[in-house]
Amino acid sequence: MRDATRKACLVAGGAGFLGSHLCERLLDRGHEVVCLDNFFTGSKRNIEHLLHHPRFELMRHDVTFPLYVEVDEIFNLACPASPVHYQHDPVQTTKTSVHGAINMLGLAKRLRAKILQASTSEVYGDPQVHPQREDYWGHVNPIGHRACYDEGKRCAETLFFDYHRQHKLRIKVMRIFNTYGPRMHPNDGRVVSNFIVQALTGKDITLYGDGSQTRSFCYVDDLVEGALKLMDTDDLIIGPVNVGNPVESTIRELAERIVELTNSRSVIVYRPLPSDDPMQRCPDIARARAWLDWEPQVQLEQGLRSTIEYFDRLLGRPAT
């Protein structure tokens, strides 16, 4: 007989950067974990240390196809999250967000399971409100190069709320802002991993635009804690809830900090700004503070040091 406090949790996208950390935390809590991934951007390397865990199961599956398992909670993290990856096959990216949401919601409906959607700050587009609050509807180009991800995630949120209203499904919607940490993909094109890899390998550090655009960077451990706290709330709290770091940095400041922390000789060079790239991105986390008693704990320098150490090992360099 299974322990009544032990839950069976499905993590879609569980071999990815965020998903692998979430799988670890759920196992640490004593739960059973079914890790689902099609390995388009996820990697077995991220979860290989879990493969022999007695409460961990790995399934190779694409969420655009229906799934039949028995679980208590579902975390839907399945979707490429970096521009390099989601623009590689934009049609599949939209399918993953929309068909994936339909299939995960259908599973939750059949099981009467609680389900969390990993949404994104990209639903705000290039925002005209700063910082971004959850009641802001966004400023998104629906036909741009980023729309496959932005609009896919917006449609997924629509589906979650309609399943909640129509089928009384127990949903949680979390809007994730820029997150970084160990297990980021080295070639995903995201700014933290880009800069660290370039700095460690002595290549030019490429800034798009003049580097004055701002982002807020949340360490992965804090992000996962926010996801767990949201899933643990009662059924009256459904979201959306911003989960991210409200402290802004310019991209140029980030590049300079990484050069300093890696003792790199890399030179910062400037390239044209991609289309629809937002100039500002920073969360208002009042809801997370009030509803989840959550805010980030890891300072940027501390998180960058841990991430740099990870990439040192990944690239086969001795840690400094």
Amino acid identity of 181? G
pLDDT confidence band for 188 (50 / 70 / 90): confident
136 is catalytic: no
Residue 315, both tokens: 């690239």
Q: What does the pLDDT read at residue 120? A: 94
Task: Sketch out the chain's domains with CATH numbers.
Answer: 8-180+218-245+280-297 (3.40.50.720)
Candidates 127, 133, 137; CA nearest to 157 is 137
Higher pLDDT, 64 or 209: 64
Q: What does the pLDDT read at residue 315? A: 87
Question: What is the C-alpha to C-alpha distance for residues 202 and 208, in angstroms, rounded to an integer?
Answer: 18
Q: What is the pTM of this model?
A: 0.92
Share of the chain above pLDDT 70, in %: 94
Amino acid identity of 29? R
Higher pLDDT, 189 or 9: 9
Q: What does the pLDDT read at residue 169? A: 97
Choose, from 86, 149, 219, 310, the residue flagged as catalytic. Answer: 149
pLDDT confidence band for 234 (50 / 70 / 90): very high
Query: Residue 51 burial (CB < 10 Å; 0-12/13-18/19+)?
Result: exposed
Task: Determine the average pLDDT of the residues in 14-33.
Answer: 97
pLDDT of residue 2 exceeding 60, the answer is no
Question: What is the C-alpha to C-alpha distance for residues 282 and 293, in angstroms, rounded to an integer?
Answer: 19
Task: Determine the average pLDDT of the residues in 295-317.
Answer: 92
**Left (φ > 0), alpha (ψ -120 to 50) or beta: where does 196 sit?**
alpha
Residue 45, both tokens: 């390397």
Lowest-pLDDT range of 21-30, 254-263, 272-281: 272-281
Model pLDDT for residues 121-147, shown as the tens digit of each residue: 999 998 889 899 999 999 998 998 888
Phi, psi of 200 (to 5 degrees): -70, -30
- Could you give the count of Cα atoms lying within 13 Å of 268 in the half-sphere of its Cβ? 16
Q: What does the pLDDT read at residue 320? A: 37
pLDDT of residue 296 exceeding 90, the answer is yes
Q: Across all residues in the chain, what is the average pLDDT?
A: 92
Q: What does the pLDDT read at residue 287? A: 98
Q: How far is CA 167 from CA 108, 109, 160, in A?
A: 10, 8, 10
pLDDT confidence band for 298 (50 / 70 / 90): very high
pLDDT of residue 316 exceeding 90, the answer is no
Task: Determine the average pLDDT of the residues in 271-283.
Answer: 78
Question: What is the C-alpha to C-alpha distance for residues 216 and 280, in angstroms, rounded to an integer?
Answer: 9
pLDDT confidence band for 153 (50 / 70 / 90): very high
Query: Residue 80 burial (CB < 10 Å; 0-12/13-18/19+)?
Result: buried
Q: Is the dihedral of CA 65, 70, 74, 77 positive or negative?
A: negative
Residues 6+ apart with CB under 8 A from 4: none
- Could you give the count of Cα atoms lying within 13 Å of 233 in the half-sphere of its Cβ? 27
Question: What is the C-alpha to C-alpha distance for residues 229 and 25, in angstroms, rounded to an integer?
Answer: 12
